[in-house]
Structure 1
Amino acid sequence: MASEQNQAPRRLRVGIDVGGTNTDGVIIDPSESTPDKAIKAWHKTSTTPDPSDGISTAIQTMFDSAGIDASDVASVTIGTTHFVNAVVEMDSSRLAPVAVLRLCGPFSKHALPCVDWEEDLRDVVLGHYALLKGGLEVDGHLISDIDEEEIKSQCSIIKQKGLRSIVINGVFSPIDTVERQEERAAEIVKREIPNCDVVCSKEVANLGFLERENASILNAAILPFARKTISSFQKPMKTVGLNCPVFIAQNDGTVLPGAMAARLPIRTFSSGPTNSMRGAAYLVQQTLDEDIMVVDIGGTTTDVGLLQANGFPRQQAAYSDLAGVRMNFSCPDIKSIGLGGGSIIHTGEPMTIGPESTGNKLTSEAVVFGGQTLTATDFSVMSNPDLEIGNRELLQGKITSELLSNFQGLVKKRLERIIDVMKTSPGDIPVLLVGGGAVIAPHELSGASKVVKPQWSGVANAIGAAMARLSAVEDIIVSTENQTTAEARDTVTRRAIEKTVSAGADPATVEVVEVDTLPLSYVENKTRFIVRAAGDFDTSRTQNIDDSLGGQVEAENSHDETMPERALPKPSQRKGPRKQVDVNEYVPDVRNRIWYISETDVEWIATGCYILGTGGGGSPYSSKIRLRTELRKGAVIRVVDTRDIPDDAQVGCGGGAGSPTVAIEKLGGDEMLESQHELYKICDRSATHMISVEIGGANGLQSMIIGASTLMNLPAVDGDWMGRAYPTKWQTTPVVFNERTPIWAPIAMSDGNGNVVVMPKTSSDAHVERILRAAIGQMGSNVGAADAPVTGAETKRWVVERTISQSWRIGRGVAKARQENQVSNVAEAIIDQCGGPSAGRVLWKGKIVGVERNLKTGHVYGECLIQGTDVSGKEDAVDSAFRGILKIPFKNENIAAIKVPEDGRKEKQEDVLAIVPDLITVIDAQSGEAVGTPEYRYGLLVVVLGLAASDKWTSTERGIKLGGPDSFGFNHLRYTPLGTYQPPQSVIDEYDGRASGGNSDQ
Structure 2
Amino acid sequence: MSLYRIGVDVGGTNTDAVVLDVRARDTPHRGVLASHKAPTTPDITSGIEAAIRAVLQESAIDQRRVLSVTIGTTHFINALVEADTRRLDRVAVVRLCGAFTRQIPPFSDFPAGLRGILDGGAYYLDGGFEIDGREIAPLDESQIRRTAREINAAGVRTVALVGIFSPLDYEGKQEETCRKILLEEEPGLRIVCSHDIGPTGLLERENATILNAAILRTGQRVKHGFQRAMARLGLACPLYLSQNDGTLIDADTAAAFPIKTFASGPTNSMTGAAFLAGIDHGKREGMGAETESENTVQPQVIVVDIGGTTTDVCALLPSGFPRQAPGFVDVGGVRTAFSMPEVLSIGLGGGSIVQVDPETAEVTIGPSSVGHAIQQEAKIFGGTTLTTSDIVVALGKATLGDAALITDIPESVVDGAQKRIKKMLEGVVEKMKVSTAPVHVLLVGGGALLVTSDLDGVDKCIQPIHQGAANAVGAAIAKVSGDIDIVEMLEGKDEKAVVDAARQKAIDIAVAKGAARGDVRVVEVNKMPLQYMHQGAMRIQIRAVGPLAVPTELTPPPSPPLPCSDETEEGEAEEDIAKPQTASTQSSTSVDLGTYRPQVKSGVWYVSEVDLELIATGCGILGTGGGGPTHHEYLKALHVLRNGGQGKMRVVSPKSLNDDDVICFGSWYGSPSVINERIAGGTEIANGINAVNKILGNKSFHGIMLDEIGGGNGMSAFPTSVHFDVPIVDGDAMGRAYPTMYHATFSVYGHSLVPCVLSDARGNTSVVMSTDSDIRLEKILRTTAIELGLACAVCANPLPGSAIKSHGVPNTLSQAWYLGRAVHMAQRKKINLVDAIFDVCPGKLLFTGKIIDVRRHVGGGYTMGSVLIAPLSEDEREHSSTRVQPITSDSHMIIPFQNEYLYAALSDSNGSDESQKVVCTVPDLISILGQDGEAIGSQDLRYGLRVNVIALPAHPLWKTEKGLAVGGPAGFGLEMPFVGAGSEFSEARSVIEEFGV
Deviations 1:590-623 (A, max 9, x none): 4244333222222222222233223322222211
Q: 2:206 aligns with which of 206, 213, 221?
A: 213
Deviations 1:546-598 (A, max 9, x none): xx9xx9x99996999xx9x99x9763798996772466525241424433322
Residue 204 of structure 1: aligned partner: 197
* Match status 1:589 vs 2:591: no
Residue 154 of structure 2: aligned partner: 161
Residue 929 of structure 1: aligned partner: 934
Residue 292 of structure 2: aligned partner: none
- Identity percentage over the alignment? 34
Where do 1:803-842 residues align within 5 Å?
803-820=812-829, 826=833, 829-830=836-837, 833-837=840-844, 840-842=845-847
The separation in 2 between residues aligned to 1:821 and 1:294, in whole angstroms, is 28
CA gap of 1:716–1:334, structure 2 versus 1, over 3 A, is farther
Q: 2:781 aligns with which of 764, 767, 772?
A: 772
Residue 717 of structure 1: aligned partner: 729
The answer to whether the Cα contact below 8 Å between 2:172 and 2:195 also exists between their aligned partners in 1 is no
The separation in 1 between residues aligned to 2:694 and 2:950, in whole angstroms, is 43
Residue 986 of structure 1: aligned partner: 989
CA gap of 1:882–1:483, structure 2 versus 1, over 3 A, is farther
Amino acid across the alignment from 1:126: D
Deviations 1:660-689 (A, max 9, x none): 111011111111111111221122443312
**1:516 CA displacement:** 3.3
The separation in 1 between residues aligned to 2:889 and 2:21, in whole angstroms, is 44
The answer to whether the Cα contact below 8 Å between 2:199 and 2:338 also exists between their aligned partners in 1 is no
**1:45 CA displacement:** 2.5
Amino acid across the alignment from 1:529: R
Residue 491 of structure 2: aligned partner: 481
Amino acid across the alignment from 1:108: T
The separation in 2 between residues aligned to 1:611 and 1:487, in whole angstroms, is 42
* Match status 1:794 vs 2:796: no
The separation in 1 between residues aligned to 2:49 and 2:576, in whole angstroms, is 37
The separation in 2 between residues aligned to 1:936 and 1:150, in whole angstroms, is 42
Q: 2:755 aligns with which of 737, 746, 749?
A: 746
1:943 counterpart SS class = strand
The separation in 1 between residues aligned to 2:479 and 2:955, in whole angstroms, is 55
Deviations 1:62-99 (A, max 9, x none): 12223334356454321001100111111222112212
**1:325 CA displacement:** 0.9
The separation in 2 between residues aligned to 1:279 and 1:571, in whole angstroms, is 36
Count of aligned positions: 892
Residue 965 of structure 2: aligned partner: 961
The answer to whether the Cα contact below 8 Å between 2:488 and 2:540 also exists between their aligned partners in 1 is no
Residue 62 of structure 1: aligned partner: 55
Where do 1:72-83 residues align within 5 Å?
73-83=66-76
The answer to whether the Cα contact below 8 Å between 1:24 and 1:44 also exists between their aligned partners in 2 is yes
**1:719 CA displacement:** 1.5
The separation in 2 between residues aligned to 1:984 and 1:432, in whole angstroms, is 53
Where do 1:25-424 residues align within 5 Å?
25-28=17-20, 39-48=32-41, 51-70=44-63, 73-177=66-170, 180-242=173-235, 244-276=237-269, 278=271, 305-308=312-315, 315-333=324-342, 380-384=374-378
The separation in 1 between residues aligned to 2:95 and 2:875, in whole angstroms, is 42
The gaps in structure 1 that reach 5 residues or longer are 1-7, 342-374, 390-411, 995-1002
Amino acid across the alignment from 1:680: N
**1:945 CA displacement:** 2.3
CA gap of 1:530–1:94, structure 2 versus 1, over 3 A, is farther
Residue 978 of structure 2: aligned partner: 975
Residue 654 of structure 1: aligned partner: 666
The answer to whether the Cα contact below 8 Å between 1:654 and 1:785 also exists between their aligned partners in 2 is yes
Residue 727 of structure 1: aligned partner: 739
CA gap of 1:98–1:433, structure 2 versus 1, over 3 A, is farther
1:571 counterpart SS class = coil
The separation in 1 between residues aligned to 2:735 and 2:68, in whole angstroms, is 58
* Match status 1:695 vs 2:702: no
* Match status 1:862 vs 2:864: yes
Q: Name the stretch that deviates more: 201-210 or 126-135.
A: 126-135
**1:472 CA displacement:** 3.7
The separation in 1 between residues aligned to 2:685 and 2:81, in whole angstroms, is 37
1:980 counterpart SS class = coil
The separation in 1 between residues aligned to 2:951 and 2:689, in whole angstroms, is 33
Deviations 1:625-657 (A, max 9, x none): 011112222413222332333333322211111
The answer to whether the Cα contact below 8 Å between 1:519 and 1:860 also exists between their aligned partners in 2 is no
1:776 counterpart SS class = helix
Where do 1:550-589 residues align within 5 Å?
571=578, 580-581=589-590, 585-589=594-598
Q: CA RMSD in A?
A: 4.8
The separation in 2 between residues aligned to 1:852 and 1:575, in whole angstroms, is 36
1:262 counterpart SS class = helix
**1:922 CA displacement:** 3.6
1:78 counterpart SS class = strand
* Match status 1:630 vs 2:630: no
CA gap of 1:473–1:916, structure 2 versus 1, over 3 A, is farther
Deviations 1:247-282 (A, max 9, x none): 211112332232322221111112234334555677
State the TM-score, normalized to the length of structure 1.
Answer: 0.78
Q: 1:676 aligns with which of 670, 677, 689?
A: 689
Where do 1:934-953 residues align within 5 Å?
934-937=939-942, 939-943=943-947, 945-953=949-957
The answer to whether the Cα contact below 8 Å between 2:310 and 2:348 also exists between their aligned partners in 1 is no
The answer to whether the Cα contact below 8 Å between 1:583 and 1:815 also exists between their aligned partners in 2 is no
CA gap of 1:511–1:812, structure 2 versus 1, over 3 A, is farther
1:986 counterpart SS class = coil
Residue 352 of structure 1: aligned partner: none
1:975 counterpart SS class = coil
**1:720 CA displacement:** 0.9
* Match status 1:15 vs 2:7: yes
Deviations 1:356-394 (A, max 9, x none): xxxxxxxxxxxxxxxxxxx988955532587799xxxxx
The separation in 2 between residues aligned to 1:295 and 1:305, in whole angstroms, is 6
**1:139 CA displacement:** 2.5
The answer to whether the Cα contact below 8 Å between 1:588 and 1:597 also exists between their aligned partners in 2 is no
The separation in 2 between residues aligned to 1:481 and 1:942, in whole angstroms, is 39
The separation in 1 between residues aligned to 2:443 and 2:840, in whole angstroms, is 39
Residue 920 of structure 1: aligned partner: 926
**1:112 CA displacement:** 1.0
The answer to whether the Cα contact below 8 Å between 2:853 and 2:868 also exists between their aligned partners in 1 is yes
The separation in 1 between residues aligned to 2:984 and 2:326, in whole angstroms, is 31
The separation in 2 between residues aligned to 1:143 and 1:137, in whole angstroms, is 6
The separation in 1 between residues aligned to 2:196 and 2:204, in whole angstroms, is 13
CA gap of 1:783–1:594, structure 2 versus 1, over 3 A, is same
2:215 counterpart SS class = helix
The separation in 1 between residues aligned to 2:953 and 2:583, in whole angstroms, is 43
**1:108 CA displacement:** 1.4
The answer to whether the Cα contact below 8 Å between 1:652 and 1:790 also exists between their aligned partners in 2 is yes
Amino acid across the alignment from 2:102: K
Residue 893 of structure 1: aligned partner: 900
CA gap of 1:32–1:828, structure 2 versus 1, over 3 A, is farther
The separation in 2 between residues aligned to 1:946 and 1:78, in whole angstroms, is 47
CA gap of 1:692–1:268, structure 2 versus 1, over 3 A, is same
1:730 counterpart SS class = helix
CA gap of 1:378–1:218, structure 2 versus 1, over 3 A, is closer
The separation in 1 between residues aligned to 2:875 and 2:179, in whole angstroms, is 46
The answer to whether the Cα contact below 8 Å between 1:254 and 1:468 also exists between their aligned partners in 2 is yes
Q: Name the stretch that deviates more: 57-66 or 464-473.
A: 464-473
Where do 1:486-505 residues align within 5 Å?
487-505=497-515
The answer to whether the Cα contact below 8 Å between 2:901 and 2:926 also exists between their aligned partners in 1 is yes
**1:873 CA displacement:** 13
